[in-house]
Structures are given as structure tokens and as C-alpha cells.
Amino acid sequence: MASVTGRRLDWIVAPAPAPLRGVLRVPGDKSVSHRALMLAALAEGRSRIDGFLEGEDTRATSRILQQLGVHIEMPHDGSRVVDGVGLRGLQPCAQPLDCGNAGTGMRLLAGLLAGQRFDSTLVGDASLSRRPMRRVIEPLAAMGARIDSTQGLPPLRVRGDQSLRGTVLRTAVASAQVKSAILLAGLYAQGSTEVREPQPTRDYTERMLEAFGWPIDYGPGWARLQGGHALRACDVQVPADFSSAAFFMVAATLVPGSEIVLAGVGMNARRTGLLDVLRAMGAEIDIEAPRQQGGEPVADLRVRHASLRGIEVPVAHAPDMIDEFPALFVAAALAHGRTIVRGAAELRVKESDRIAVMAQALRALGARVEETTDGAVIEGGTLRGGVVDSHGDHRCAMSLAVAALRADAPVRIGDCANVATSFPGFEVLARQAGFDVGIGT
């Protein structure tokens, strides 16, 4: 798989030479960064976003909004100033809008663009072009949108000048991206738009719409808004990304003698399923200094080494930790006993088939992993060194770097360049914490 950077990058990670230590600040939350840009662009007035994730995915969203006529300044890394154009102020762009590797960007933009007066075409890289979009196309079509695709795959041709109507939609999958696309389209719809989910998902969009002044009612598993209002500019402080913090949570738990603090981590209740699961496995993770930041709960997480035991992961946690399963697979492979994962079929249609990629890689390192349709059965034990491939999936690459810390010899991890989509500078922060990670030649 080609990387977003156009080059192949391998890592060589040695077993941890010493306990992991330090106070770490991981990059800003990717999901919040995407949404803050989009709502700031549609707002009336100037918004400032601090803590913005400088990843390839979020930068792609920023470039697209600029193609659509939005003026965005970058005072410094991690900050954006957006001059909103209002709900009807976006301008047509004759060129394709390139989302790169960003599934969040493409799905949310499909909803946002469905209400515009002009046509748009959303494209992505080879990986994104294989990811399912019917889950967003079909509910938007039920609202009156017209989105053309080839068998439900990108590119997406979003037809403009459609009359969107509010309706009640029950989504087939528990996906915050699908819910958010519907709500963004609902800003342009006549009447009330209501989303009902099979299981509750993260409520970033709902919280941010409130912050930007749009009336919305919501609770676990549902959200409802009326069209016909306006978004008002506001400043957004993006919390540190829980998904990025997850790799260091698992690493510090697994490496004997370790103790780290992860500062200012977003603690949205619909995002922290991994924390609950690791604690159930025996992890020692303390929540310190809980507070609110930009409408989102944040806290510092103190993580100490602990011996883990295998468990049956409650299916109800799956939507709240879908991005963290690769890291959990590593924890399970080094726990005592058996871990059973179910209800995670969504992993099969991420940047890679994450169940298959992690199972194959962990087996290559000596773990006993049995794939199932919607998860895996993992027998805990020890890991050996070797050569594995991340298949261009950023979360698999970083999870395998964590696994290497407890292997008995170095691990070479292939195709890691796509880590830049969500966690630029991972290698630098990992070395700061105590990882021995180098670049393969």
C-alpha cells in the first residue's frame, strides 16, 4: 500500500532498555480538529483553534475548506484562525477535493457538501478509496441528497442544489462519522433531523454544535436538531487525543517499572472504552485533575506498570474504543490468560483490515491469535523479535512498536509512513518516553 507521504518507511524497535518515564503531551484530538475546522468555516465571524492536530488527515480537511473559499491562517503549529463564511458562503471548486487518507474528513464533508448549491467531488488515496461509503450515502439520500459513487466506494460525486428535508434516521452501524454527516446535512435541511443509533457513539459533533451556538438536543444514542439557524464563531481548545495516548497507556502498563503521566487527555465518555477495559484487565491508571476544556472533559492520566489478565471484552465497549483495538490486541498478547474480543467487525473496514493485520503480525512474533468474523481470541504469553508489516495502517504501526518493547529481540515494522496522518512526531515522543526506535534501511 502506498503511504500518504509517497515513500516507504520502516521502523526498527528494540526491547525496552529501561522503564518508561516522563510527562507526555500527545497531539490534539483528530476527531475534534476535523469538526472544529468545519464548523468554524460555516460560522459567522473569526474562530481560533488551538491544540489543532498537525496530521496529514486534518491538514487535508484544511486544504479542502480553503479550496471552497475559506480563509484559514496558521499563526504557528497547532493553531488555526478561521474566517467563517457562514452557512451559505462556501464557493464551488472545479477540482477534486482530496481527503488523502481521512475517512472522517470524507464522510463528514459528504454531509456538509450535500446541502450546497454546487457540485463537488471527494477523492482519497488508495486506502480510502477502498473504504465503505454507503453507510453515509444512503442516510443522506433519505434526506434528499444525491451522491454518486461506484458500488459505494470513493470517489464521491456530491450533487448540489438539492432540497434536503429533515427526517428520523436509524443508522445501521454505530458510527460517529455517519451520525455527524447526517447532522451536518441537517443544518441545511427543512424541518427536524433526528439520528437514532444502535449503540451510543462519541458526541463530539453535538457538543461542538452547541459551542458554535446551534440549538441541538441529544443524549446517548440519539441527537436531534432543526434547520434554519446560524453558527457563531467561537474559540476551540482541542484536547490531547485519547487514541494517541492509548499507545503510551499500554506501553507503560506492559514495561516493568514504568510510570508516566499523559497530560490533558480528552476524556469524552464515548471515547474511553479502552481505559475501562485495561482497568478490568488489572491496569493501574489513575485519573488526575479532571477538568473541562473547550466544552470537553479532560484529565491527566498516571499510568504505572501492572500485570494484566485476559478477559472477555464487553461488546458494549466496542463503539467506545474502536480505534484502540490494535493497542488492546498487544496488551492481550502479553496478558496472563485468554482475551476474547467480539463486536468489532468495524475493524475490518478501517485503513486496513485491522483484525487480520494485527493477528498476522502478532502471530509472526509468537503470539497465539485466532481471528473471528468480528474480533479475535488471543492467548497471552511472550513475544519474540521478527519482521512484521503494518500494511500502511498508522494505528497498527504504533501498536506493533509497543509490542516490540516486550519482545525478546528487535522488531522491524514495515510501512510506517502513514503514522503522520494521526500522530506526527510519534518517534520523537516515543524516544522521549524511553522507546528505542530507529529507522530501517
Question: Which CATH number does the domain housing residue 284 bear?
Answer: 3.65.10.10
Residues 312 and 394 in one domain: yes
Residues 20 and 136 in one domain: no
Phi-psi region at 13: left, alpha or beta (left = phi > 0; alpha = psi -120 to 50)? beta
Three-class DSSP category at 170? strand
Residues 43 and 104 in one domain: yes
Residues 95 and 66 in one domain: yes
Omega cis (within 30) before 314: no
Q: What angle do CA 338, 332, 337 make, to 5 degrees?
A: 25
In a domain, residue 4? The reply is: no
Q: For 100-236, where are the alpha helices, taking DSSP H only? A: 103-114, 134-142, 176-186, 204-211
Three-class DSSP category at 58? helix
Q: Which domain holds residue 340?
A: 11-28+240-439
Supply the residues annotated as catalytic. Answer: 323
What was the pLDDT predicted at 293?
81
Q: For 79-155, where are the alpha helices, taking DSSP H only? A: 103-114, 134-142
In a domain, residue 187? The reply is: yes
Residues 264 and 398 in one domain: yes
Mode of pairing for the β-strands spanning 120-123 and 97-98? parallel
In a domain, residue 3? The reply is: no
Residues 165 and 143 in one domain: yes
Is 368 in contact with 379 (CB distance < 8 Å)? yes
What was the pLDDT predicted at 1?
37
Structural domain ending residue among the three candidates 237, 256, 285: 237
Q: What angle do CA 434, 23, 283 make, to 5 degrees?
A: 80
* Residue carrying C-alpha cell 464522510: 107
Residues 333 and 229 in one domain: no
Structural domain ending residue among the three candidates 237, 255, 286: 237
Mind listing the pLDDT tens digit for each residue in 137-168? 999 999 999 999 999 999 999 999 999 999 99
The residues of the chain scoring below 50 in pLDDT are 1-5
Residue closest to 20 by CA, chosen among 438, 436, 437, 435: 435
What was the pLDDT predicted at 6?
54
What was the pLDDT predicted at 5?
45
Dihedrals phi, psi of 438, to nearest 5 degrees:
-130, 175
In a domain, residue 1? The reply is: no
In a domain, residue 5? The reply is: no
In a domain, residue 219? The reply is: yes
Residues 62 and 37 in one domain: yes
Q: Work out the number of other CB atoms within 10 angstroms of the CB of residue 261.
A: 19
Three-class DSSP category at 171? coil
Residues 105 and 191 in one domain: yes
Residues 381 and 328 in one domain: yes
In a domain, residue 197? The reply is: yes
**Number of domains the chain contains:** 2
What was the pLDDT predicted at 3?
44
In a domain, residue 118? The reply is: yes
Residues 325 and 411 in one domain: yes
Structural domain ending residue among the three candidates 195, 211, 237: 237
Q: Work out the number of other CB atoms within 10 angstroms of the CB of residue 170.
A: 11
What's the rounded Cα separation, in Å, for the pair 431 and 438? 9
Residues 92 and 233 in one domain: yes
